[in-house]
Amino acid sequence: MPGFELFGELERKEVNDVLDNGVLMRYGFDGMRKGHWKSRELEIALEQSFNTKHVQLVSSGTAAVSVALASAGVGAGDEVIMPAFTFVASFEAIMMLGAIPVLVDIDDTLALDPKAVEAAITTKTKAVMVVQMCGSMGDMNALQAICDTHDLLLVEDACQAIGGVYKGKPLGSIGDLGCFSFDFVKTITCGEGGAVITNNKEYYTNADHYSDHGHDHVGHDRGAERHPFLGYNFRISELHAAVGLAQVKRLPEFLTIQKKNYTILRDALSQIPEVVFRTVPEGGEESCAFLNFFLPDIDTTRKVSEAFKQNAIDACFHYYDNHWHYIRKWDHLTNLKSLFPISQEVKKGLSYLKTKAFTQSDYYIARNISCLIKLSWTEEEVRSRAAKMVEVIESIVLK
């Protein structure tokens, strides 16, 4: 991660196919295409990769979450339970629909704590969205059981976890709907893009229509298509899909490299007793896009994080002090700073953020360091990096 590190001839070929015929839009212009339908080809390839019946490409991972929820009927006033540790896009995508994000604590998986989810359910709850942060997963069995008991949607935001597996199933394919991002820093990238996956034909049809202004895509005359319901423009372009088509063909190659680099780093850090790795639920396999570990306390973690920077150990994140991935720094959400008036329903629904504490999440995030695994590293570079990380951590924890 990320796939752009290894761009090559296959990506150039797929993009040039699009440039040669000049059709950058995924729909229409059949006669000009010379048989090239990159978006549909990518959807078919992703159906195979994710072992799912239906894939709908969209313009981003954020769009994927909004489209997925809308396709299942989630909207104004509905509550969607989500974790306090994620990217800001998760709550943005929920609020775009007029729905209310209900943030709850994570556990040592760095994903939703099932007990916190159970405690947050109300009569307005329509969905639980587990975010598979940093290449791994939450306790999917427990979360699925909660959703089954309360008749709730289980939505997987697997934007950071392509290639991860739980009990033989690809992450994203376990819940009612799965969401992926193919932005510039993901394991496979389109530059910008995303996907909704599902085994539910109705949700897929709704996602297909909703993401293209409500077009029903029946027939071969776009101007004559009908609009069964309102929709918006969340389309992907053929240029973006072309890059993604090349990248998904290389996904097994990328995952092999990630796992090799991840394993070298993890084996080195496992020598340090003070280092504890995130919990991966039984039956789970990380995508190895990130290596996540806990240190004994926040002071040690901050010192290690700063020392990594000073020693040119890049792409390691202490999310407790990060503005984009943890509730602690989301003042714009807590204070509802928006360019447009927010409905009273949403304002009331989010008022809990003024006083709610996330003590359990603080405990884990304050002690966590998350290290991106790059695809472009040579083995010599990875081993050198591992030795330097061990040296830095030991110099601090052994003082």
- Could you read off the pLDDT tens digit of each residue along the chain, which spans 399 residues? 899 999 999 999 999 999 999 999 999 999 999 999 999 999 999 999 999 999 999 999 999 999 999 999 999 999 999 999 999 999 999 999 999 999 999 999 999 999 999 999 999 999 999 999 999 999 999 999 999 999 999 999 999 999 999 999 999 999 999 999 999 999 999 999 999 999 999 999 999 999 999 999 999 899 999 999 999 999 999 999 999 999 999 999 999 999 999 999 999 999 999 999 999 999 999 999 999 999 999 999 999 999 999 999 999 999 999 999 999 999 999 999 999 999 999 999 999 999 999 999 999 999 999 999 999 999 999 999 999 999 999 999 987
Nearest to 67 by CA among 195, 188, 181: 195
Q: Does domain 3-250 have CATH number 3.40.50.300?
A: no
Judge whether 124 counts as a catalytic residue: no
Does the fold of domain 252-397 match that of domain 3-250? no
Measured between alpha carbons, how far is 349 from 290 in angstroms, rounded to an integer? 34
Of residues 186, 249, 337, 347, which has the active-site annotation?
186
Q: What is the pTM of this model?
A: 0.97
As its CATH architecture, domain 252-397 has Alpha-Beta Complex (3.90)
